[in-house]
Amino acid sequence: MHGQEIIEKVKNMSIEEQRNLSYEEVCNMVNALNADGIIELSNAIGYPVFTRLCMGELKHKFVLLQDGAAVIIVNKEGQILMQSRADRDKWGLPGGCQELGESFKDTIIREVKEETNLDVLESDLELVDIVSGASRRNNYPNGDVVINNTALYCIRNYSGELKWDAESKDMKFFDLDNLPKNQNDSDLIDVYREKLKSEQN
């Protein structure tokens, strides 16, 4: 198969089929592609999954450093949007991993659309902080361990109807002083609270 045929085949696979590609299959694909094709293949599968597929038998043992973005979406009542994730019993913020070639702004605009169906403009993104370090460690049910470097944004202006995809069980706006106890992103929310305090002083 030629490069574009490989990429189209992968794009037409289900998420489950992509995640079950063997190390040998991935090696054959990568060896048939140039750098641009590898970037396109990675973005079709999703960078973290693609990276782990390239690790063979070490894929669930290697601790992965991930860059990504998360967002505090604030409604007119000052409440923030949280999602109950399908892969664990925790509430977190919308967001996700940066794809190859994306800016952090591109990442959060894409992730907000994919996860919430809301549309946001780049001009409405307010950078809260870059959050990294031990608090950004995540352990996933499949055994994956990642440490995230997260660009945290705030959005107060958005449009569209709130809907969610298969990554979420539920989405709700919460008062900042009445958030769910089983949180995944409490460190990010603490950073946001500190930002609010500094703005009020």
pLDDT the model gives residue 90: 86
Are 101 and 14 contained in the same domain?
Answer: no
pLDDT the model gives residue 86: 76
pLDDT in tens, 66-89: 999 999 999 999 999 999 987 777
Q: What phi and psi, each to the nearest 5 degrees, are found at residue 194?
A: -60, -40
Are 72 and 128 contained in the same domain?
Answer: yes
Are 80 and 37 contained in the same domain?
Answer: no
pLDDT surpassing 70 at residue 189: yes
What are the helix (H) ranges across the chain? 3-11, 15-19, 23-31, 35-45, 47-53, 104-116, 186-200
**Pick from 41, 44, 58: nearest CA to 1:** 41
Are 34 and 69 contained in the same domain?
Answer: no
Are 16 and 87 contained in the same domain?
Answer: no
Instruction: State mean pLDDT over 185-196.
Output: 94
Give the CATH number, domain containing residue 103: 3.90.79.10
Cα 118 from Cα 111, distance rounded (Å): 10
Please count the structural domains in the chain: 2
pLDDT the model gives residue 81: 97
Q: Length of the chain in residues, anyone?
A: 201
pLDDT in tens, 108-165: 999 999 999 999 999 999 999 999 999 999 888 888 899 999 999 999 999 999 998 7
Instruction: State mean pLDDT over 188-194.
Output: 95
Domain with 95, as residue range(s), is 64-200
Cα 99 from Cα 121, distance rounded (Å): 19
pLDDT in tens, 13-72: 998 999 999 999 999 999 999 999 999 999 999 999 999 999 998 888 899 999 999 999
pLDDT the model gives residue 106: 97
Are 146 and 68 contained in the same domain?
Answer: yes
Are 7 and 48 contained in the same domain?
Answer: yes
Cα 4 from Cα 113, distance rounded (Å): 26
pLDDT surpassing 90 at residue 10: yes
The owner of tokens 């949007």 is 81
pLDDT surpassing 80 at residue 167: no
pLDDT band at 1 (very low <50, low <70, confident <90, very high): low
